[in-house]
Amino acid sequence: MTHQPEILHYAVSVVGKDRPGIVAAITEGLFNLGCNIADSSCTMLGGEFAMILIVSLKKPFSKSRLIDELKPVCDRIGMTLGVRTLHADEVIRQETDGEICMISVYGADQPGIVYRVTSELAARSINITDLNTKLIGTEDEPVYVLMLEVALPEGETPEGVEQALAVLKKELHVEIGVRVITPVAF
């Protein structure tokens, strides 16, 4: 019986002023260490670039070695680094049995859109798996866009979610759409 080496998992976050080459620089450092990127998300927010990666490495390895490799890279490109060790119960891939839906919200920019929509979803035990916001339009007529990917709990339907959000649609004077994301078979 062969013993498999234990795998260590870390959450790596990098934030700073956006510029070309950030992803390449960070992933080069991870590659040099032999890291596997299991999950990642990168985005630009108001001129700032933010990325979070879930990386794995075979033991023996240490969090300090990961920081020692990435910190000089981050310093060179003006980024802030955060590294957190993940415990076994934090790295279990969580697939949902429920339906996956996209919820889109468009309307005049105003405080409270994200709060009101996400509060309604939380009250219905709907899990948000991804959320993005963006301000589009012109300076004189800004349009706020909120996009959510959600996992519906058992017994919840896309139609039910749309009906629940209909009240907010009227109160906030926004357009709200709910559509099912059809899984693609490979």
What ranges do the domains of the chain cover?
7-90, 100-180
Tens of pLDDT, residues 45-95: 888 999 999 999 887 778 999 999 999 999 999 999 999 999 877 776 656
The pLDDT value recorded for residue 185 is 57
Sheet holding 174-180, edge to edge: 127-137, 142-151, 100-108, 174-180
Residue 184 clears pLDDT 60, i.e. is over it = no
Residue 172 clears pLDDT 80, i.e. is over it = yes
DSSP-based helix, strand, coil % in the chain, nearest 5: 30, 40, 30
Q: Greater confidence, 165 or 58?
A: 165
67-71, 114-118, 136-140: least confident range: 136-140
pTM above 0.95, yes or no: no
Residue 181, Cβ density class (10 Å: 0-12 exposed, 13-18 middle, ≥19 buried): exposed
The continuous run of DSSP H or E covering 130 comes out as strand 127-137
Rounded Cα distance between 143 and 133, Å, is 11
When computed from its CA atoms, the radius of gyration of the chain, rounded to whole angstroms, is 20
CATH number for the region 7-90 comes to 3.30.70.260
Residue 2 clears pLDDT 80, i.e. is over it = no
Instruction: Give the model's confidence band at 143: pLDDT under 50 very low, under 70 low, under 90 confident, else very high.
Output: very high
Coil, helix or strand at residue 107? strand
The pLDDT value recorded for residue 87 is 85
The pLDDT value recorded for residue 1 is 57
The class level of CATH for 100-180 reads alpha beta
Instruction: Give the model's confidence band at 97: pLDDT under 50 very low, under 70 low, under 90 confident, else very high.
Output: low
**Residue indicated by tokens 């839906």:** 101
Rounded Cα distance between 175 and 146, Å, is 10
